[in-house]
Chains A and B, each alone.
Chain A
Amino acid sequence: MSDNVVVTGIGLVTPNGLGTEDVWAAMLAGRSGLSTITRFDATRYPARIAGEVSEFAAEQHIPGRLIPQTDHMTRMALVAAESAVRDAKVDLATVPEFGGGVVTAAGAGGFEFGQRELESLWSKGPEYVSPYQSFAWFYAVNTGQISIRHGLKGTAGVVVGDQAGGLDAVAQARRLVRAGHELMITGGADSALCPWGWVAQLANNRVSRATEPDRAYLPFDRRACGYVPGEGAAMLVLRPAERRDAVPGYGEIVGHAATFDGKAARDAAVGVRKAIELALADAALTPGDVDVVFADGSGTPELDDSEAAAIAEVFGARRVPVTVPKTMVGRLCSAGPVLDLALALLAIRDGVVPPVVNSAPAPDHVLDLVVGEPRALDVRTALVVARGYGGFNSVMVVRSTEG
């Protein structure tokens, strides 16, 4: 089995689209999915803007049996995974019985389900709590449900690491393909847009309190005032290069590295820079090989500054185009960087980079940001940066399979 691991399928559910091509078209059109929260009454909360997946009727996509036992995040995960498998044009019956596995990331778990059952517990009593609460809230549940749904009996796992966890899950799936798995479903899914989930996020003091959706999440802009939480799912199918079946694949995962920040704020730039350097080393590439960077874009000034410094130190000031398409959907926690990976692969396919929206970086900003409009660009290699609350950094490099 070769070490070359190829992405052959993509499945996306995001606040600005349902399905890969729908999301991609929205991203190129600069169509934002950010709005005032509708899922619950947020008027009494200090932050009210989010990226909601609103046009999603779970009953149309997954079996009725799964509805009472799944949180919203799991339903999105199942839909994205099925879509990725369909996209990969693989007959799962041809995969050896224990040769297919699942590794997903989740940052929050099933908050909405959990809140409902806890409310039943304290207001009515334990006999009113659904037995499905035993697993429906859990971080690992998406991996389990996907593996059951698709009959994948190989290695399964889950990674919890906020945004960075999404890339770490894909990295683990890549290791498992290299170790002999013929197929891995991997990615992230998260949603915590209920009062309980919302206050848990507000506690980090980084959630934007802006009241206008187009002013709320402005990474690398002097007006940056925090980030907008979003929800969604992004799943990929990974296969060894020699088992791509009928599809050529979107691209190869050629590099990954993860690092951890120290306590001091100055360590953050070092941690991100080191992750970028190590991922490039893993890919046996140099900074000059990278055509575009999908930045983490935290949206808080100090974190933006440390990321910009890290990117500029590795690549040189304004030497590589940088984009933050998540400005259109918010930070999707574990799904966020997997969405970025998918968009990077689509940028390779179509020769165009989706933009940062709403942000207006200073003209002399150290990064060459793709602002407002998509940029036509021959992309062979893309690098994705993901940072998680608490100092997790994860960086992944994808490359065209052509030549």
Chain B
Amino acid sequence: MPARRVTIEDVRQILVEVAGAPDPGDAAGGVDAELNELGYDSIAVLAAVAKVERDYGVKVDEGELLDATTLADLVELINAA
């Protein structure tokens, strides 16, 4: 588990940093926003997870990454690491 819980906002910021701003129109997407609809494909998610792992010293289960289709799923997966 990360030293402190990772929030939706943390992940959103990391995604912007490593994969660019979300597609316009969906920028205000909430916790249930589909990552695909935000314009973040699997490579963007991989890039974000790599940064989370570096920043928080955790190892996220890559086998379950593809099942994380929303921001909330992704945050949950990270906090379970």
Chain A contacts to B: CB under 8 angstroms = 63-69, 127-128, 130-132, 134
Mark contacts of B13-52 with chain A using CB atoms, 8 A cut-off: 1 yes-contact digit, 0 otherwise: 0001011111110000000000000011001001100100
Please determine whether A131 and B43 come into contact, CB atoms closer than 8 angstroms: yes
Task: Write out the residue numbers on chain A whose beta carbons fall within 8 Å of the beta carbon of B40.
Answer: 65
Please determine whether A127 and B54 come into contact, CB atoms closer than 8 angstroms: yes
Please determine whether B46 and A131 come into contact, CB atoms closer than 8 angstroms: yes
Partner of B47, one of A63, A67, A132: A132
State the CA gap A128–B53 with chains docked (Å). 10
Please determine whether B47 and A131 come into contact, CB atoms closer than 8 angstroms: yes
Q: Please give 9 more A-B residue pairs, beta carbons under 8 A apart, in addition to A65-B19, A65-B22.
A: A63-B20, A64-B21, A65-B23, A66-B20, A68-B19, A69-B19, A128-B50, A131-B50, A134-B43
Which chain B residues numbered 35 to 81 have a C-beta less than 8 Å away from chain A?
A: 39-40, 43, 46-47, 50, 53-54
Task: Write out the residue numbers on chain B whose beta carbons fall within 8 Å of the beta carbon of A69.
Answer: 19-20, 43
Q: What residue in chain A is nearest B53 (Cβ atoms)?
A: A127
State the CA gap A66–B40 with chains docked (Å). 11
A323 to chain B: closest CB distance in Å?
41
B3 to chain A: closest CB distance in Å?
18
State the CA gap A63–B26 with chains docked (Å). 13
Q: What residue in chain B is nearest A66 (Cβ atoms)?
A: B20
Task: Write out the residue numbers on chain B whose beta carbons fall within 8 Å of the beta carbon of A134.
Answer: 43
State the CA gap A68–B44 with chains docked (Å). 9
Task: Write out the residue numbers on chain B whose beta carbons fall within 8 Å of the beta carbon of A67.
Answer: 20
Q: What residue in chain A is nearest B42 (Cβ atoms)?
A: A131
Tell which of A65, A66, A68, A127 has the most Cβ of chain B within 10 Å: A65
State the CA gap A57–B24 with chains docked (Å). 19
Please determine whether B22 and A130 come into contact, CB atoms closer than 8 angstroms: no
Chain B contacts to A: CB under 8 angstroms = 16, 18-24, 39-40, 43, 46-47, 50, 53-54
Q: What residue in chain B is nearest A124 (Cβ atoms)?
A: B54
CB-CB under 8 A for A68 and B54, given A130-B47, A131-B46, A132-B47:
no
A121 to chain B: closest CB distance in Å?
13
Please determine whether B18 and A64 come into contact, CB atoms closer than 8 angstroms: no
B54 to chain A: closest CB distance in Å?
6
State the CA gap A370–B61 with chains docked (Å). 65
Tell which of A128, A132, A134 has the most Cβ of chain B within 10 Å: A132
State the CA gap A128–B50 with chains docked (Å). 8
State the CA gap A372–B25 with chains docked (Å). 51
State the CA gap A52–B47 with chains docked (Å). 30
State the CA gap A64–B23 with chains docked (Å). 8
Please determine whether A65 and B54 come into contact, CB atoms closer than 8 angstroms: no
Please determine whether B43 and A128 come into contact, CB atoms closer than 8 angstroms: no
A135 to chain B: closest CB distance in Å?
8
A117 to chain B: closest CB distance in Å?
12
Task: Write out the residue numbers on chain A whose beta carbons fall within 8 Å of the beta carbon of B39.
Answer: 63, 65
CB-CB under 8 A for A68 and B43, given A63-B20, A128-B54:
no
State the CA gap A66–B43 with chains docked (Å). 12
What are the 5 closest A-B residue pairs judged by CB atoms, nearest first? Answer: A64-B21, A65-B20, A64-B20, A131-B46, A65-B39
Task: Write out the residue numbers on chain A whose beta carbons fall within 8 Å of the beta carbon of B21.
Answer: 63-65
State the CA gap A68–B39 with chains docked (Å). 13
State the CA gap A66–B22 with chains docked (Å). 10
B66 to chain A: closest CB distance in Å?
14
State the CA gap A63–B16 with chains docked (Å). 12
Task: Write out the residue numbers on chain B whose beta carbons fall within 8 Å of the beta carbon of A132.
Answer: 43, 47
State the CA gap A63–B44 with chains docked (Å). 15
Please determine whether A127 and B43 come into contact, CB atoms closer than 8 angstroms: no
State the CA gap A63–B38 with chains docked (Å). 12
State the CA gap A164–B8 with chains docked (Å). 50
Q: What residue in chain A is nearest B39 (Cβ atoms)?
A: A65
Please determine whether A68 and B46 come into contact, CB atoms closer than 8 angstroms: no
State the CA gap A69–B40 with chains docked (Å). 11
Task: Write out the residue numbers on chain B whose beta carbons fall within 8 Å of the beta carbon of A63.
Answer: 20-21, 23-24, 39
